[in-house]
Copies of this chain bind each other. A is one copy, B any other.
Amino acid sequence: MPEAITQSIQDYLKHIYELNENGGSASTNDLAARLNIAPASVTGMLQKLANAKPALVIYKKHQGVKLTKSGEKAALEVIRHHRLLETFLVNTLGYTWDEVHCEADKLEHVISEDFEARMAEALGHPTRDPHGEPIPTADLTMPADSSCPLASLRTDETATVRKVVDDDPALLRHLREIGVIPDAKITVKNYSAFDGNLTIKVEGQRSNIVLGSAITNHVYVEK
Contact = CB atoms under 8 A, between A and B. Distances in A.
Interface of A: 92-95, 99, 102-103, 106-107, 110-112, 114-115, 118-119, 122
Contacts of A112: 102-103, 106
Give this chain's copy count.
Answer: 2
5 contacts: A93-B119, A94-B122, A103-B114, A106-B111, A110-B110
B102 A118 contact: no
- Interface residue SS majority, chain A: helix
A92 B94 CA distance: 14
Contact of A107 (B93, B94, B110): B110
A95 B111 CA distance: 14
Contacts of A115: 93, 103
B114 A110 contact: no
Contact of A122 (B93, B99, B118, B119): B93
A18 to B, nearest CB: 22
Contacts of A94: 118, 122
Contact of A93 (B99, B106, B118): B118
A93 to B, nearest CB: 4
Contact of A103 (B92, B95, B106, B111): B111
